[in-house]
Amino acid sequence: MVDVLALVEARLRTALGEPDARAAVTFLGTDRIEVLRFTDGDIVRYATLGMSAQPMADPTAALADPVKGPRAELVLSVRAGLADTDKVLRPLAVLAASPQVEGVVVAPGASLDLGEPLWPGAAFGSVLVAEPGGLIEDLELDAPMDPVRFLPLLPMTANEAAWKRVRGAAELEGRWLARGTDLRDPLRPSVPLD
């Protein structure tokens, strides 16, 4: 059987360079989740490693398929030095463990809510899962396994998360774009939603 996580880590290193830090978190009843930190100039990227070890299963399925099903890892990009964003490691691991713990399938357009700030003092307690493919290409695996997708996470304030629930992900992304919102700014305010 192919070592999916070794391939995923190789893809991350190819796309982002060598990680300058890594942390591991294990939750009761789940596989180990690592979070790798990559620094590129004034941008810090945090990528999970471990979420893709097993395919995500449809929570309504009677049995989870151990081979087929969507696989993903999460990637968060923020500007360095503006906030204590290294404290995001555990919250990211919590989000990456959610398919195993809660039986959810994480896909673009979904909201993931932590119920607490992403890092100390952050205005963001949830994230919007964005479309993959821009920064890190999907990792194709041998059939019948689905490819691993690297899903960007966009931090949302409570107001933005509530607005997204009512209006949808495309509307919120359109609002961010129209207002020129810097989604990598860890100190940014909520986008005006009037």
Cα dihedral 162, 166, 108, 40 sign = negative
What does pTM read for this prediction?
0.93
Q: Specify if 70 maps to a domain.
A: yes
Q: What is the pLDDT of residues 99-130, one digit of tens each?
A: 888 888 999 999 999 989 999 999 999 999 99
Q: Specify if 80 maps to a domain.
A: yes
Q: Which residues of 28-52 are buried (b: 16+ CB within 10 A; e: fewer)?
A: eebeebbbbbbeeeeebbbbbbbbb
Q: Specify if 194 maps to a domain.
A: no
Q: Specify if 120 maps to a domain.
A: yes
Q: Which pLDDT value is given to residue 68?
A: 86
What is d(CA 112, CA 95) in angstroms, rounded to the nearest whole number?
Answer: 7
Q: Which of 150, 151, 94 is nearest to 117 (CA)?
A: 94
Q: Which pLDDT value is given to residue 30?
A: 76
For all residues of the chain together, what is the average pLDDT? 91
Count of domains forming the chain: 1
Q: Specify if 193 maps to a domain.
A: no
Q: Which of 32, 31, 3, 8 is nearest to 19 (CA)?
A: 8
Range of the domain at 144: 4-178
Q: Specify if 186 maps to a domain.
A: no
Q: Which of 122, 182, 130, 124 is nearest to 156 (CA)?
A: 124
Q: What single letter denotes the amino acid at residue 61?
A: A
Q: What is the pLDDT of residues 145-171, one digit of tens each?
A: 999 999 999 999 999 999 999 999 999
The pair of three-digit structure tokens given for residue 109, joined into one six-digit string: 């357009």
Q: Specify if 39 maps to a domain.
A: yes
